[in-house]
């Protein structure tokens, strides 16, 4: 009997195949006491296991490259955290086995993170994965991970750790569905990069029996259990039509009546550039620079190292536009040399530009490195600050750019509702705005972007979020300046049309989404996009907004 389940679609495409479940998590080790004389040996075992897991995560990151590499290297640093290791050794010294000490130490740290307003729930999932890998190594049992299979399958999991998602084999994993996670979780972002259809935050996914045939529609967020032949044909036909439209679309982004909407790529470093070029990106709309700072959380990278990395990306887009975001540290990206260790709620504390203004030398070194990296290159460099709250923030950043001798446009990210509400004031100090819709949704709805239970508030179709986008775009138009979107909202082909109708002047996304968005824009006029935007804003819920926009754009 055919039934339908619904979650949040986060990666386009249709996958039809049999269900395979993620390997079970490591069992809790027994609480066994050891003699005092065995403590040094157990401490040695724990250290060896930690180093082996960290090395494995780094190796996986190197193989995966791009944004996945930064995520996995951050996880490796988590495994080697000196405070955690000290806690493990203390527990062994009073009689715990190595595996039990690791389990309890990580559990204690997990409780601390989960209690910090749950902003770090995404980091909790990563922490659990690191713990399981270390305990599995100590127990001598297989690592938790994707199932072994010679035949392609649809993967079902409670959640997927970055180490698993980054190295999924698209020839075997047709698509995946998770019970937890959100549209901006690591799993969702990496799924889009892989081009694998994916759905997250789907209740009941874990109850699907092994071997059940399902059809996963990553565009709509629907899973059809035991689909009929008619449903399979319908889904495959729709997927083929989308694929044909994508293949037929090329060139710069524009509506069908010629209104230009530059399509840019989000990149996490030089390794992401080839995919962006292959997808036809017209430049970079978000160059995340955190990858340079994650190698060593104890100190900032040298100016020389930064110049080399920035220049590699800038050289790839001659005559193109490259928008660099200065270091966005804090909250879920803590750095020892920059981030306060005792903040009760890091999401609402010293993060982003606030951290940099408290450590002006770190900001100055980065801006100076960018100034040197762009010398002699025919590229349009733009530099923006994360977490700008008001005009005072914007002025402080623009002043720092000028003092560093940076010849570029200076901009501000709109991630805090106050920045959208006072966008025109901020634009008195900077030359462009860039909407980070992931964090903007998080702060608008007080909903952690990593927590599946509140994922409906992270839906970028929420009318309140569209209102803030419209406010920002209207302010930029009034000031004769630009306003782009670099959050994951830009990767939705239908929503891209609505954002264009709201007045957004450029869209930046993961490279894999660019062809889909280009094809979608090319089918509609600017006037249609504007009517769709008005219909979406008139709705009361995200689902109603999506349906209203779809009805307008399909001519219903």
Residues acting as catalytic residues: 186, 486
The CA-atom distances, in angstroms, between 114 and each of 173, 326, 334, 399 are: 31, 28, 16, 38
Q: How far apart are CA 307 and CA 318, in angstroms?
A: 17
CB–CB of 188/10 below 8 Å?
Answer: yes
Q: Collect contacts of 40-46 with beta carbons under 8 A, ≥24 apart.
A: 42/92, 42/96, 42/97, 42/98, 42/101, 43/88, 43/89, 43/92, 43/93, 43/98, 45/98, 45/138, 46/85, 46/88, 46/89, 46/92, 46/98, 46/101, 46/102, 46/134, 46/138
Beta strand pairing call for 263-267 and 283-288: parallel
Contacts of 33 (CB under 8 A, 6+ apart): 95, 96
Residue 396 and residue 393: Cα distance in Å, rounded? Answer: 5
Q: In what order do the strands lie in the sheet with 3-6?
A: 3-6, 222-225, 213-217, 14-21, 153-157, 173-178, 198-200, 8-11
Token output for 81:
């955290």
**CB-side neighbour CA atoms (13 Å) of 511:** 22
Distance between CA atoms of 46 and 52, rounded to whole angstroms?
10
CA 351 to chain centre: 17
Residue pair 16/65 in contact (Cβ under 8 Å)? The answer is: no
Residue (of 221, 235, 316) closest to 270 by Cα position = 316
Q: What is the largest CA-CA distance in the chain?
A: 79
- CA torsion 30-35-39-41 (nearest 10°) is -90
Nearest-angstrom CA–CA distance, 143 and 152: 21
Report the length, in residues, of the chain. 556
Residue with tokens 């869209």: 507
- Separation CA 201–CA 455 (nearest Å): 7
Query: What's the helix, strand, coil split of the chain in %, to 5?
Result: 50, 15, 35
Q: Which residues does 304 contact at the CB level (< 8 Å), separation at least 6?
A: none
Are 533 and 554 in contact, with CB atoms under 8 Å apart?
no
**And the tokens for 119?**
């902003």
Assess contact for 200 and 451: CB atoms under 8 A: no
CA nearest to 189, candidates 203, 179, 200:
200
């Amino acid at each position: 009997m055919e039934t339908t389940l619904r979650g949040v679609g986060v990666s386009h495409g249709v996958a039809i195949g049999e269900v395979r479940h993620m390997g079970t998590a490591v069992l809790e080790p027994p609480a066994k006491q050891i003699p005092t004389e065995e403590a040094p040996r157990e401490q040695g075992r724990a250290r060896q296991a930690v180093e082996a897991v960290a090395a494995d995560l780094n190796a996986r990151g190197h193989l995966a490259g791009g944004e996945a590499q930064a995520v996995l290297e951050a996880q490796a640093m988590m495994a080697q955290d000196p405070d955690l290791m000290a806690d493990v050794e203390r527990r062994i010294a009073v009689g715990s086995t190595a595996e039990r000490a690791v389990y309890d130490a990580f559990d204690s740290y997990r409780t601390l993170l989960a209690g910090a307003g749950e902003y770090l729930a995404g980091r909790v999932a990563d922490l659990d994965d690191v713990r399981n890998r270390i305990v599995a190594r100590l127990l001598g049992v297989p690592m938790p991970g994707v199932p072994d299979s010679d035949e392609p399958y649809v993967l079902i999991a409670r959640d997927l750790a970055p180490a698993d998602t980054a190295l999924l084999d698209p020839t075997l994993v047709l698509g995946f569905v998770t019970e937890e996670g959100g549209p901006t979780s690591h799993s969702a972002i990496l799924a889009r990069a892989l081009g694998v259809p994916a759905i997250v935050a789907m209740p009941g996914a874990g109850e699907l029996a092994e071997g059940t045939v399902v059809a996963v529609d990553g565009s709509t967020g629907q899973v059809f259990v035991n689909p009929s032949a008619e449903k399979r044909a319908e889904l495959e036909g729709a997927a083929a039509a989308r694929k044909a439209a994508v293949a037929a679309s090329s060139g710069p982004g524009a509506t069908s009546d010629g209104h230009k909407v530059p399509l840019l790529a989000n990149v996490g470093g030089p390794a992401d550039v080839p995919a962006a070029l292959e997808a036809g990106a017209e430049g970079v709309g978000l160059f995340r620079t955190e990858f340079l700072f994650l190698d060593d959380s104890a100190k900032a990278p040298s100016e020389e190292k930064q110049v080399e990395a920035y220049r590699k990306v800038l050289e790839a887009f001659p005559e193109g536009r490259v928008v660099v975001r200065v270091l966005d540290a804090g909250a879920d990206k803590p750095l020892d040399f920059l981030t306060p260790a005792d903040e009760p709620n890091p999401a609402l504390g010293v993060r982003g530009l606030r951290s940099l203004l408290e450590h002006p030398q770190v900001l100055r070194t980065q801006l100076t490195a960018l100034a040197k990296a762009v010398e002699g290159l025919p590229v349009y460099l733009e530099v923006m600050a994360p977490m700008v709250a008001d005009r005072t923030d914007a002025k402080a950043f623009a002043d720092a750019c000028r003092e560093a001798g940076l010849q570029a446009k200076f901009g501000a990210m709109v991630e805090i509702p106050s920045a959208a509400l006072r966008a025109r004031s901020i634009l008195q100090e900077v030359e462009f705005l860039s909407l980070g819709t992931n964090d903007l949704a998080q702060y608008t709805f007080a909903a952690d972007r990593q927590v599946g239970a509140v994922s409906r508030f992270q839906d970028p179709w929420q009318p309140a979020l569209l209102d803030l986008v419209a406010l920002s775009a209207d302010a930029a138009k009034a000031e004769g300046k630009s306003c782009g979107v670099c959050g994951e909202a830009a990767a939705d082909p239908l929503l891209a049309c609505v954002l264009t109708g709201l007045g957004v002047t450029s869209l930046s996304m993961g490279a894999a989404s660019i062809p889909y968005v280009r094809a979608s824009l090319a089918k509609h006029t600017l006037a249609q996009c504007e009517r769709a935007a008005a219909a979406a804003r008139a709705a009361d819920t995200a689902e109603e907004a999506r349906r209203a926009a779809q009805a307008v754009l399909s001519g219903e």
